[in-house]
Structure 1
């Protein structure tokens, strides 16, 4: 017995424990995970000391929200399905769209509704002006939900409008993501202003273990929603913060963000508002029944069909990924994608490259520079496969970070919202996507795409294959880390 406790005996014992840990991980880690994610986690566990790797896995390995939150999501889904029964009776001449509509309805409970209008806003400061004006015009209530909501010189009028709405006697409710807020410049100043304004506000997915509020810390609510009176809604990619995000590094590099938001009117507003109501109920326990029953009448002019598709770890499947892939495989002529963070999983990469190899015009707009180094390099690791398949890649010129998130299929369908085309948005973030069916809306997006094309340079395979070797190695390493989720 004494001999076993010698140094060689301890080394042997540790080696045995190490082997057992690795064996258990080989069995447990791949369970119910996509192969590339499981492989990335196993590599992390095997290359790091196993105790550190296992600790990270226990902290970050589950993408499921706490049981109570999942139950609230299921409860609100049932409520939405019951209250919107029959609403999805929309007539259109494209039967190929019906399975996608049914898929979205099954996954996210929201119906396809007709009688909507949409107006795009692609200028950062003008979008803030438009949202502020909409708040000032509200007469009943205001619902604002943003991943980042920060008080600064640029956004001060937005906060003034919220306070003025309270003084007019409106119910004003605000949601902001906790961790994203903490990382934003002026977080405490922002909270002080919300308290002073008298708005009802709450943090989304708070990481406050001492208060009993805990889930995987990198599960975030990434949605951007503004709803006024149940008649008007804004959604898209833009946060409520200065276009530099007020960070010293961004200011030093001259970086600023370019986004795209859309203002909807018509029955689709009720669907967007339902997402706010869901998140408000999840965070506060208060179900806004009166606001939930506000459904605008369909508009009578030439209008659009639209369907809200919520996604995130509160759902069983990856709703946005399933929607995106379904539409990619239905394309006949053209696919144009804009995503600031493009890190597809294997299924999406196959869908995009298959389309390009089939002769479909596939184009991708991304930024020439990146604000998140790991994601930026992981994204670059896909360029060779895309270019070889025939995808045209447009690099939006620095110092602008192209942050818009939308894609168009042929001349009939578009999807716009808060979701990136990356594995974080598919699995870890709560997102909003709106599928819009209507040529007029796609035509408007075509103008935006051409504006982006005029401000971009096209990346060619010959140029890409001569890039710096060290950079290529960094790209491939980052690709592995991107799958750890």
Structure 2
């Protein structure tokens, strides 16, 4: 009996020590909501909660990776002088200059003019456009996707890379290490790169026996292709079949709808600089940055654009700061598209405030979800948004609206890989492109109009009448969003 009491006392003391230690460790440089969620998890699930915290509770990458990011940032800033020529500075809204300065300070890449951009909303069409660009390559092709799989849909893309290698073009490829194991055809995919002679590296590999380890859910979520520094592509689309080859998706008839964009002009070198920094992180090989002079054309359709990398290799939540700034400076309209909408407090407040100021604020999300916790967590925010006057459009099943973009007023837009959620703000490495141009935003509005035509608008009265079980699931899932 005495031994049982002794063990119990030791467990209680260990619980107290863990709880106190957790409170000190968790609260350091962490949002109060996240800190409270972690402390409660550790207290109520003491040993399992502590294990999970030490596994995924630290949001930064290893010091060596962050040092490489700073090194590349310094090189990019050093070569930025004289490269930030603009096409239409006189047409900017007055607040945009401060946004461009913010992005330069955080991401080390300037706003540059002389660009052309095209939106690619068709899944197969965007792959075909990338193939067409790859077939013009004479020097190099840089490919980077969070998910990259050789399948029937992407086989033509791999064939284009093979043709490029046959011409002597250097092909460098980055794809996520963890996602490669979670999806089929990993061996076939890597064998294809090896056979064609492409240089492939895994992003953020988890190989503890080789000293390659970091928080396992910190992932590189970027998607981009750069051809010879002349043509670039980025956006929301991974390189895989639109069903993601998952049996449950195929059984439900699900397929993903995306938005990619193509770029031509000086902004392409900025997109390639993001690849250069990631390649350096994974290989220790620092590729040369393009420092050639920017020569602006005289065509009136040239755009000003700025590439913004973000993620745990930076010291700040780069995309979060940009998004909040844009919403706060909107004067007429804010349109947001995000498949995973779990906003940080400042983003939610900015949206509610914008709607309360009388702005037209709309949010496009999917009616269905492929990630249960995220799906229910995002639903927990709908009531507050609807009460503030935000219009919420649910894109009809069986399509998962996976596009990630938003537009501000008539001439500012952002397209990229970043969701409007806490994971994309703090945990994932993302890349976005800020574009200023009335014609470009008009084209993005047409894409949003198509979403609206294929969506059902959510009504507050109907939403409040949803079943009690759904409300409970939504609210419980919301609590998990703060565990970061």
Q: TM-score range by the shorter chain?
A: over 0.9
Task: Verify the 8 A CA contact 1:230 1:296 in the aligned structure 2.
Answer: no
| 1:183-212 superposed Cα distances (whole Å, 9 cap, x missing partner) | 122112111111111101101000011111
Task: Verify the 8 A CA contact 2:83 2:293 in the aligned structure 1.
Answer: no
| 1:294-443 map, 5 Å | 297-302=295-300, 303-443=302-442
Q: 1:21 aligns with which of 15, 18, 34?
A: 18
The secondary structure found in structure 2 opposite 1:421 is coil
Tell me which residue corresponds to 1:463. Answer: 462
Q: CA deviation at 1:17?
A: 2.1
Tell me which residue corresponds to 2:44. Answer: 47
Rate the CA distance shift 1:184–1:296 in 2: closer, same or farther, 3 A.
farther
Q: CA deviation at 1:133?
A: 1.3
| 1:72-471 map, 5 Å | 72-90=68-86, 91-93=89-91, 94-289=93-288, 292-293=290-291, 297-302=295-300, 303-471=302-470
Rate the CA distance shift 1:428–1:469 in 2: closer, same or farther, 3 A.
same
Task: Verify the 8 A CA contact 1:335 1:362 in the aligned structure 2.
Answer: yes
Q: CA deviation at 1:20?
A: 2.2
Tell me which residue corresponds to 1:69. Answer: 65
The secondary structure found in structure 2 opposite 1:6 is helix
Rate the CA distance shift 1:483–1:297 in 2: closer, same or farther, 3 A.
same
Q: CA deviation at 1:89?
A: 4.1
Task: Return the alpha-carbon distance in structure 2 between the equivalents of residues 403 and 15 of structure 1.
Answer: 47
Task: Return the alpha-carbon distance in structure 1 between the equivalents of residues 36 and 135 of structure 2.
Answer: 51
Task: Verify the 8 A CA contact 2:352 2:390 in the aligned structure 1.
Answer: yes
Task: Return the alpha-carbon distance in structure 1 between the equivalents of residues 153 and 295 of structure 2.
Answer: 35
Q: CA deviation at 1:30?
A: 1.3
Q: CA deviation at 1:42?
A: 1.5
Task: Return the alpha-carbon distance in structure 2 between the equivalents of residues 55 and 171 of structure 1.
Answer: 44
Tell me which residue corresponds to 1:31. Answer: 28
Q: CA deviation at 1:226?
A: 0.3
Rate the CA distance shift 1:359–1:352 in 2: closer, same or farther, 3 A.
same
Task: Verify the 8 A CA contact 1:236 1:418 in the aligned structure 2.
Answer: yes
Task: Return the alpha-carbon distance in structure 2 between the equivalents of residues 478 and 329 of structure 1.
Answer: 28
The secondary structure found in structure 1 opposite 2:414 is strand
Task: Return the alpha-carbon distance in structure 1 between the equivalents of residues 75 and 12 of structure 2.
Answer: 54
User: How does the TM-score come out when normalised to structure 1?
Assistant: 0.97
User: How does the TM-score come out when normalised to structure 2?
Assistant: 0.97
Rate the CA distance shift 1:296–1:124 in 2: closer, same or farther, 3 A.
farther
Task: Verify the 8 A CA contact 2:221 2:417 in the aligned structure 1.
Answer: yes
Task: Verify the 8 A CA contact 1:269 1:295 in the aligned structure 2.
Answer: no
Q: CA deviation at 1:16?
A: 2.1
Tell me which residue corresponds to 1:56. Answer: 52
The secondary structure found in structure 1 opposite 2:397 is coil
Task: Verify the 8 A CA contact 2:85 2:294 in the aligned structure 1.
Answer: no
Task: Verify the 8 A CA contact 1:266 1:299 in the aligned structure 2.
Answer: no
Q: Which runs of 5+ in 2 are unaligned?
A: none
The secondary structure found in structure 2 opposite 1:433 is strand
| 1:65-113 superposed Cα distances (whole Å, 9 cap, x missing partner) | 1111000000000000001113224333432111111110100000010
Task: Return the alpha-carbon distance in structure 1 between the equivalents of residues 90 and 372 of structure 2.
Answer: 44
Task: Return the alpha-carbon distance in structure 1 between the equivalents of residues 61 and 6 of structure 2.
Answer: 43
Q: Which runs of 5+ in 1 are unaligned?
A: none
Task: Verify the 8 A CA contact 1:231 1:296 in the aligned structure 2.
Answer: no
Q: CA deviation at 1:426?
A: 0.5
**What is the RMSD of the two structures over their aligned residues, measured on CA atoms?**
1.2
The secondary structure found in structure 2 opposite 1:92 is helix
Higher mean C-alpha deviation, range 359-368 or range 205-214: 205-214
Task: Return the alpha-carbon distance in structure 2 between the equivalents of residues 273 and 191 of structure 1.
Answer: 23
Task: Return the alpha-carbon distance in structure 2 between the equivalents of residues 156 and 9 of structure 1.
Answer: 64
The secondary structure found in structure 1 opposite 2:242 is coil
Task: Return the alpha-carbon distance in structure 1 between the equivalents of residues 124 and 142 of structure 2.
Answer: 20
